[in-house]
């Protein structure tokens, strides 16, 4: 029986072409695990040509010995791992067409591209590599978007309202969801590990590029930092210069919502979160809040902490000089109903 493998040429694409075609195809990042962890194209799969240690050794040989000895060592590693690359490809990728990239679109993606092409894959390689992609990401934050910002004091239910808006035909950008953090000192509780700021930017750009730039984009009012990740400067400036729909609910309703969301977490985690803001909260208030947590008096603890957050939010809102603040007072906690009301208000 004769087996025939169709061998395709490796197609080299610009970043715009690569982004478009990769929407329906698997994307393979052949950089090291460390490079991949720091930031990668959203939804990419890592099949590294070199391990972190191997790349460091090759780099050292290049600097201290010569280009030829570095290439010889690189080829030695590659020869030893060819079966591994192909096994990973078979395990992780079922499609006959794949997209591939490395840092600059050079040696690593070229070599792996030709290897994968020899086993019947049609390969699309990114010209300029991940560096070109990062320039594309940063350019994504430069256009003027039609942002509709939902604000309100902590516990107002902004996230739930935004979630209901996202279930409609409206465009919704969930910054806290992308950041794996709810924004406050307690925001990491119950969340997955945060991405790097670079990966946050990549995922944020991927979301923005799915939107119609001419249509409204709903999002929540945020500080520049969401936990450890930073909102890109251009986008943050737009958020701060946009009008804000300020959700207003009673403090009791806010306290009850926060108790429902956070009292389920372990006391040591809650206390640690209080300690993280103790300098801003004040020594006495921190002590009283911690004592209340230990006694499971979550209402009192939340009331104390909200005093700090309310002052901080009011101060932040005052910095929006010349911007329109549209207050919406809510008597009932019904995110779905409120979402419809806000959409109607904008229309």
Q: What angle do CA 47, 48, 53 make, to 5 degrees?
A: 150
Residue 1 predicted with pLDDT over 50: no
User: Quick one: pLDDT at residue 150?
Assistant: 96
Active-site residue list: 102
Rg (C-alpha) for the chain, rounded Å, is 25
From CA 50, how far away is CA 286, in angstroms rounded? 49
| Tokens describing residue 112 | 């792996």
Task: Confirm if 136 and 32 have CB atoms less than 8 A apart.
Answer: no
3 state SS of 305 = helix
Which residue is it, tokens 């430069």?
142
Give per-residue pLDDT as tens, 2-36: 434 454 557 999 999 999 999 999 999 999 999 99
3 state SS of 34 = helix
Mean pLDDT over the full length of the chain? 93
Q: Report the pLDDT averaged over residues 194-211.
A: 98
Residue 110 to residues 18, 41, 114, 284, 305, Cα–Cα distance (Å):
15, 18, 6, 62, 55
Confidence of residue 315 (pLDDT cuts 50, 70, 90): confident
Q: Is residue 217 within a helix (H) or strand (E), and if so which, with residue range?
A: strand 216-220
Q: Is residue 98 within a helix (H) or strand (E), and if so which, with residue range?
A: strand 97-101
Residue 262 CB: number of other CB atoms within 10 A? Answer: 21
DSSP of 107-148, one letter per residue?
HHHHHHHHHHHHTT-EEEEETTHHHHHHHHHHHHTSSPPEEE
User: Quick one: pLDDT at residue 42?
Assistant: 97
Give the burial class of 278: count Cβ atoms within 10 A of its Cβ; 0-12 exposed, 13-18 middle, 19 or more buried.
middle
Q: Report the pLDDT averaged over residues 279-284.
A: 92
Q: Which of 7-16, 81-90, 109-118, 252-261 has the lowest mean pLDDT?
A: 7-16
| Tokens describing residue 155 | 């516990």
From CA 229, how far away is CA 233, in angstroms rounded? 12
From CA 50, how far away is CA 206, in angstroms rounded? 27
Q: Report the pLDDT averaged over residues 316-341.
A: 85
Task: Confirm if 176 and 166 have CB atoms less than 8 A apart.
Answer: no
Confidence of residue 319 (pLDDT cuts 50, 70, 90): confident
Which residue is it, tokens 């959700």?
247
Q: Report the pLDDT averaged over residues 315-335.
A: 82
| Tokens describing residue 257 | 């919502």
From CA 301, how far away is CA 286, in angstroms rounded? 9
From CA 109, how far away is CA 100, in angstroms rounded? 6
User: Quick one: pLDDT at residue 346?
Assistant: 87
Predicted TM-score (pTM) above 0.85: yes
Give per-residue pLDDT as tens, 211-255: 999 999 999 999 999 999 999 999 999 999 998 999 999 999 999
Q: Report the pLDDT averaged over residues 256-263.
A: 95
Q: Which of these, 227, 267, 254, 28, lies nearest to 126 by C-alpha position?
A: 28
User: Quick one: pLDDT at residue 324?
Assistant: 83
């Amino acid at each position: 029986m004769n087996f025939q493998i169709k061998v395709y040429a490796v197609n080299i694409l610009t970043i715009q072409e690569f982004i478009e075609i990769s929407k329906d195809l698997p994307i393979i990042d052949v950089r090291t695990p460390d490079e991949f962890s720091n930031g990668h194209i959203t939804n990419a799969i890592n099949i590294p040509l070199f391990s972190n240690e191997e790349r460091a050794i090759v780099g050292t040989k290049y600097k201290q010995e010569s280009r030829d000895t570095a290439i010889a060592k690189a080829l030695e590693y590659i020869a030893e791992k060819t079966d591994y690359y192909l096994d990973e490809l078979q395990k992780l990728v079922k499609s006959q067409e794949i997209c591939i990239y490395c840092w600059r679109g050079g040696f690593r993606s070229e070599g792996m591209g030709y290897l994968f092409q020899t086993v019947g894959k049609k390969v699309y390689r990114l010209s300029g590599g991940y560096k070109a992609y990062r320039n594309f990401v940063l350019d994504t934050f430069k256009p003027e978007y039609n942002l509709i910002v939902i604000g309100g004091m902590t516990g107002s239910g902004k996230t739930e309202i935004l979630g209901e808006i996202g279930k409609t035909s409206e465009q919704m950008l969930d910054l806290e969801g992308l950041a794996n953090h709810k924004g406050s000192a307690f925001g990491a509780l119950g969340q997955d590990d945060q991405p790097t700021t670079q990966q946050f930017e990549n995922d944020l750009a991927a979301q923005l590029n799915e939107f119609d730039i001419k249509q409204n984009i709903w999002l929540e009012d945020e500080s520049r930092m969401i936990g450890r990740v930073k909102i890109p400067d251009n986008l943050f400036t737009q958020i701060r210069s946009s009008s804000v729909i300020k959700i207003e609910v009673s403090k009791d309703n806010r306290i009850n919502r926060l108790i429902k969301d956070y009292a389920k977490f372990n006391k040591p985690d809650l206390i640690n979160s209080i300690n993280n803001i103790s300098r801003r909260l004040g020594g006495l208030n921190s002590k009283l809040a911690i004592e209340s947590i230990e006694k499971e008096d979550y209402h009192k603890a939340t009331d104390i902490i909200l005093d700090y957050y309310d002052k901080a939010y009011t101060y932040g809102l005052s910095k929006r000089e010349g911007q329109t603040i549209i207050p919406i007072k809510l008597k009932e906690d019904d995110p779905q109903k409120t979402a419809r009301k806000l959409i109607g208000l904008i229309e």
